[in-house]
Amino acid sequence: MRIDRNAPFSRQDSNVILMSRHRTDARFPHIATVEAYWHALRGQRSMPRRSEIDPRGIENALEYAFILEQIAPGVGRLRIAGSHLSDLLGMEVRGMPLSAFFMPEARDDLAACMEKVCAAPTIATLTLEAEPGIGKPVLEARLLLLPLSDEGGVVNRILGCFDTSGSIGRAPRRFAIRSRRLTQITGHDVARDWHRPKVTEQALAPLRGFSEGQTTFDGAKRSTTGKPVIRNLRLVTPQD
């Protein structure tokens, strides 16, 4: 099978996605991997569905990736999180709010970005800098937030990537927002009425860690039914 490497995303085979031409920042290479995967999945739509995400499609970026559940506008908790996020805080982070990675003065801006991602829908890219201190060297970061819908069209999940440049040093590391870029998504269904998730008292209860779905982003592949997970996506690079 011949693959056109001049196209940003090639779908000559439904199981093959070519993402080698997506823009890459050498300091944050995992951001480009996750964003290219999301764009390839969505095609001409506004966004892919949560059920379409297969962690093996971004296996080189798994430890930096996460899936966030929006439980209220601007409020989200980590349903799945890669090991790099746990390294940043020095603890298991699944079930924690994303705001735990940010200094108090940055949390309102973060909430506004998350709300925009799910409401517009929008892609958010935040440039971050960690608070310095004893044993805490300079640490820059890039945070990517990408909306996901459920089968009913409710935008209540965010696929994200938290990539850093520099030594983590002594945890926990918390960040300030230095800049942000919001890009509204276009697609053939972008004008539809995206529904907000229903907010319940249970959803707003204290957040507790747990594992979701068939797999984790730490490299351990598991199925809730005990059956093998079927591969439905494969990355193709110029070396393949």
Cα 74 off chain centre by: 15
List of residues 6+ apart from 48 with CB closer than 8 A: 38, 41, 42, 148, 149
Tell me the C-alpha distance between 17 and 46, whole Å.
18
Backbone angles phi and psi of 219, in degrees to 5: 100, -10
Averaged pLDDT, 53-63: 96
Phi, psi for 162 (deg, rounded to 5): -120, 95
Across 147-151, 166-170, 189-193, 235-239, least confident range: 189-193
Q: Which of 18-27, 42-51, 52-61, 134-143 has the lowest mean pLDDT?
A: 18-27
Q: How far is the C-alpha of 150 from the C-alpha of 170, rounded, in Å?
A: 38
CA geometry: angle 89, 200, 223, nearest 5 deg:
60
> Alpha-carbon distance 215 to 54, whole Å?
9
Structure tokens, 190 = 């972008």
Q: What size, in residues, is the chain?
A: 240
**Cα separation of 170 and 131, whole Å?**
11
CATH number of the 63-215 domain: 3.30.450.20
- Residue 204 has a pLDDT of 42
Kindly state the average pLDDT of the residues 9-27: 48
- DSSP per residue, 125-183: EEEEEEPPBTTB---EEEEEEEEEE-TTSBEEEEEEEEEEES---SSP--EEEEEEEEE
Q: Which DSSP state fits 102?
A: B
Q: Quick one: pLDDT band at residue 29, thresholds 50, 70, 90?
A: very high
What is the per-residue pLDDT for 191?
34
Quick one: pLDDT band at residue 120, thresholds 50, 70, 90?
Answer: confident
